[in-house]
């Protein structure tokens, strides 16, 4: 499973990092960046919650 970010859609809410702090980093303004596109085994649920929490659908998962 892979996690992708469309940075043009990110508005800096920071909700994604609450669900998956090991997958997402936030800059000083709250804008997200993906730390690793490959979701580690056991982190799939956190990655789903992370993507689902984004109000602007900036995050997506692919198998």
Name all domains of the chain by residue range, CATH numbers in brackets: 2-62 (3.30.70.20)
pLDDT at site 8: 97
27-43 pLDDT, tens digit each: 999 999 999 999 999 99
Average the pLDDT over 50-55 and give the result: 96
pLDDT at 37: 94
Distance CA 27, CA 33 (A): 8
Task: State the first-to-last Cα distance of the chain, in angstroms, to the nearest integer.
Answer: 4
Provide the whole-model pTM.
Answer: 0.90
Q: Which of 8, 54, 55, 11 is nearest to 23 (CA)?
A: 54
Average pLDDT over residues 40-61: 97
| Each residue's pLDDT tens digit, 7-21 | 999 999 999 999 999
Q: Taking Cα atoms as reference points, which of 20, 46, 52 lies closest to residue 33?
A: 20
């Amino acid at each position: 499973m892979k996690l992708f970010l469309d940075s043009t859609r990110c508005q800096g809410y920071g909700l994604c990092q609450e669900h998956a702090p090991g997958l997402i980093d936030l800059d000083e303004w709250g804008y997200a960046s993906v730390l690793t596109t490959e979701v580690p085994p056991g982190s799939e649920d956190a990655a789903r919650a992370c993507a689902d929490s984004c109000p602007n659908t900036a995050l997506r998962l692919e198998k």
